Amino acid sequence: METIKNVLVGQSGGPTAVINASLAGVYETARAMGAEHVYGMRYGIQGLLQEQIVDLNECLSDKMDIELLKRTPASYLGSCRFRLPNPDVDEEPYKQLFHLFEKYEIGAVFYIGGNDSMDTIARLAAYGAKVKSSIRFIGVPKTIDNDLMFTDHTPGYGSAAKYIAATIKGIICDSSVYNLNSVTVVEIMGRHTGWLAGAASLAAGADCNGPDMILLPERAFDEKAFLAKVSQLEKERHTLVIAVSEGVKNKDGEFLCDLVSGPGAVDAFGHKAALSGTARYLADLIKAHLGCKTRAVELSVLQRCASPLASRTDVTEAYQVGGAAVEAAFRGETGKMCTIYRVSDIPYRTETGLTDVSRVANKEKCVPDEWISEDGMHVTPEFARYARPLIQAELHPFYVDGVPRHLHL
């Protein structure tokens, strides 16, 4: 096993509040273990193919930079949504990349991302083995969607969940100030899985009942049952707040967000109207059938980039998986993804582990059936038992001039 001189790290896929904490974990651990240079890919593997490389030794020399980096949302290095081709069909990008690895004397490559990014690591590791390279390739999990297999959860999810829970709690306050009946439908990210929508349940506590209903993409939308439940709850409660995953589909497999506009609806400029969302669809549906005052709120991009509501547990674990990935590479591992293993719920304790990256790539973990309530319109207490520890504690930004200070390249 050859020693590692320099390492290379990239970020890929959508932003999270803690992806940069993983970068800090990779950087600090690699330096501590003796790497001379830690290089960063600008805009992931796509930027790397254009040799967009930065020397992180120059950017992160002060411990203050590391603290700022941990508190900076989105992707410090920039990101991409780019998949490597099958090398049997097109070997060119692999040749290019391995040439760059040689040029920069790279002994290990780390890629922080979701299941698409794990596909990149799997392909690079397989190609490396084929060409008998000694370079190690390790994946670092990241996604607010929490849909990666073989890990208890993914860094990024806890902070998104904390943002969603706190925001739903604020919306419940906001919606109950008037002595009027109303229904507020809040749209939450999650095209295929309901992990994020389910996190709305964490708003509940001694001072808040939490959302009245939660719809997840794991269950097909049943209009009749839905309207019956809204109608029944409306009789009991002053105001309703319904959390809905953007990816909810009806029994025919159509996304509700695709049904919002009437047939042939156009925008002000005569083009096909943009989809205005699942929450809008449900708010319109309730209004049309039950006649009550409705409101649609879309949490939008805020749920993935809200550093003021980062979970300290999440930041810490994001850092740890970054560090553990480096340790694994220095031990000689390759083609692996770092995982989080939950030792116990109470007290909450985790360890890092490793799994074959090819087992993770391109797969999706759904919310278990038994964590969804029988009528399919809420989550069970088991969901909260799982998710509650992930939103514990805070890591506040450094506020400068009234706003969070970030670190940028």
- Binders in 336-395 for a copy of itself, by CB under 8 A: 388, 391-394
Residues 261-300 that bind a copy of itself (CB under 8 A): 261-262, 265-271, 273-274, 276, 280-281, 283-285, 287-288, 295-298, 300
Q: How far is the CB of 394 from a copy of itself (least distance, A)?
A: 6
Q: Which of 153, 133, 230 is nearest to 199 (CA)?
A: 153
CA dist 403 and 126 (Å) reads: 45
Q: Which of 202, 218, 165 is nearest to 367 (CA)?
A: 218
Handedness of CA 266, 268, 273, 276 (dihedral sign): negative
**Position of tokens 């960063």?**
40
Question: For residue 385, which phi and psi values (nearest 5 degrees)?
Answer: -60, -35
- Judge whether 102 is annotated as a binding position: no
Q: How far is the CB of 349 from a copy of itself (least distance, A)?
A: 17
Residues 191-230 that bind a copy of itself (CB under 8 A): 202-203, 205-208
- Judge whether 209 is annotated as a binding position: no
CA angle, 285 then 255 then 286, to 5°: 10
Give the containing element (helix H, strand E) for 137: strand 136-141
> Residue 32: how many CB atoms within 10 A of its CB?
11
Q: How far is the CB of 356 from a copy of itself (least distance, A)?
A: 28
- Judge whether 36 is annotated as a binding position: no
Q: How far is the CB of 2 from a copy of itself (least distance, A)?
A: 33
Q: How far is the CB of 329 from a copy of itself (least distance, A)?
A: 25
Residues 110-149 that bind a copy of itself (CB under 8 A): none
CA dist 142 and 22 (Å) reads: 9
402 binds a copy of itself (CB under 8 A): yes
69 or 372: CB nearest a copy of itself: 69
Residues 1-60 that bind a copy of itself (CB under 8 A): 14-15, 42-43, 46-47
CA dist 117 and 145 (Å) reads: 14
Query: Looking at 24-32, 84-92, 164-172, 341-349, which segment touches a copy of itself (CB under 8 A)?
Result: 164-172
Window 81-100: contact mask with a copy of itself (x via CB under 8 A): x-------------------
CA dist 206 and 386 (Å) reads: 19
Residues 51-80 that bind a copy of itself (CB under 8 A): 72-75, 78-80
Q: b or e along 316-344 (b: 16 or more beta carbons within 10 Å of the residue's beta carbon)?
A: bbbbbbbbbbbbbbbeebbbbbbbbeeee
- Judge whether 115 is annotated as a binding position: yes
Query: Looking at 133-141, 144-152, 169-177, 370-378, which segment touches a copy of itself (CB under 8 A)?
Result: 169-177
* Under 8 Å between Cβ of 225 and 377: yes
62 or 401: CB nearest a copy of itself: 401
CA dist 246 and 266 (Å) reads: 22
13 or 141: CB nearest a copy of itself: 13
Q: Which of the residues 62, 88, 90, 145 is marked catalytic?
A: 145
Q: How far is the CB of 88 from a copy of itself (least distance, A)?
A: 28
- Judge whether 190 is annotated as a binding position: yes
The binder of a copy of itself chosen from 26, 214, 305, 321 (CB under 8 A): 305
Q: Tell me, what DSSP letter sits at residue 177? A: S
* Under 8 Å between Cβ of 353 and 338: yes
68 or 340: CB nearest a copy of itself: 68
**Cis peptide preceding 217, ω within 30 of 0:** no
Q: Which tokens is 35 given?
A: 């790497």
- Judge whether 143 is annotated as a binding position: yes
CA dist 175 and 159 (Å) reads: 24
205 or 332: CB nearest a copy of itself: 205
- Judge whether 250 is annotated as a binding position: no
Q: Is 145 considered catalytic here?
A: yes
401 phi-psi bin (left φ>0, alpha ψ -120 to 50, beta other) = left
Q: How far is the CB of 7 from a copy of itself (least distance, A)?
A: 22
Annotated binding site for Mg(2+): 115
Residue numbers in the known binding site are 14, 115, 143-145, 189-191, 246
The residues annotated as belonging to the active site are 145
Annotated binding site for diphosphate: 14
